[in-house]
Structure 1
Amino acid sequence: MTLSRFESYAVARSGVARVAFGGELDWDSAPYIRKAVAACLEERPKTLCLDLSDVSFCDCAGVNALLEARIAVSAAGAGLVVEGIGAQLGRLLALIGASDVLTGGTVAQATEPARRD
């Protein structure tokens, strides 16, 4: 088995924070996921975008960290956009019944004000 080193990159501009993760999201990298998201939320973005395009593997600890990120983003009053959910992570989310929890979307959709119907 080839291990992919965990990497993250974060940037915040014009009310949008973007965190790109790469490698394996697992027990070892989960604390770094939480730290990267918390650091971005300190900038008080309107939207946080999680780019998972370069994620090669995700286990339950990684999913838990992503779900915690979703909760933190919501608590901060920001919108969440998740990009690049790969096949392996998609299957894992489906298995645990969380396929709709980390959905895609666009930055434009996440920054639109909520409608009252």
Structure 2
Amino acid sequence: MGEVRYAVTLSRFESYAVARAGVARVALGGELDWDSAPYVHKAVAACLAEQPKTLCLDLTDVSFCDCAGGNALLEARSAVRAAGAGLVVEGIGAQLARLLALIGASDLLPAGRVAEATEPARRD
């Protein structure tokens, strides 16, 4: 498997994705809302095309998430499961944790850490 990279930058949202060595990482930052939610699907799809064994959603830099963003994360979870890959979620902040609790989805996004071969997903 080669390396796949995908990046999107909007005025208040960024996503970076990389897949290699059987592990994929999608790092999201800024506001995850109605305008940016479609880019979550695109980043996840770009990584899943490489058939990783594990996909990590890094939400550490997400500053805001509305229901559309929460739905995009749940759709990402479904896509990862349908592809037969494992899912790990990093960096769920207080606001996103509260949203997930309110919609009864706290247990659907498993927290963990996957770093193997994927750390360069972010640009500095």
Instruction: Tell whether the structures are fold-level matches, with TM greater than 0.5.
Output: yes
Q: Which whole-Å deviations, capped at 9, do the CAs of 1:56-105 have from their partners, x for residues lacking one?
A: 00000000000000000000000000000000000011111111111202
Select which of 16, 23, 27 maps to 1:16. Answer: 23
* Counterpart amino acid of residue 101 in structure 2: A
Q: Choose the corresponding residue for 1:76, options 71, 78, 83.
A: 83
Structure 2 residues without counterparts, runs of 5 or longer? 1-10, 116-124
SS at match of 2:29: strand
CA distance in 2, matches of 1:106, 1:84: 9
Give the drift of 1:107.
3.2
Q: 1:106 matched to which residue of 2?
A: 113
Question: Which stretches of structure 1, 4 residues or longer, exceed 2 Å deviation after superposition?
Answer: 105-108
Task: Give the structure-1-normalised TM-score.
Answer: 0.86
Higher strand share: 2
Q: Which runs of 5+ in 1 are unaligned?
A: 109-117
The number of equivalent residue pairs is 105
Query: Which residue number corresponds to residue 115 of structure 1?
Result: none
- Larger radius of gyration between Structure 1 and Structure 2: 1
Secondary structure in 1 matching 2:107:
coil
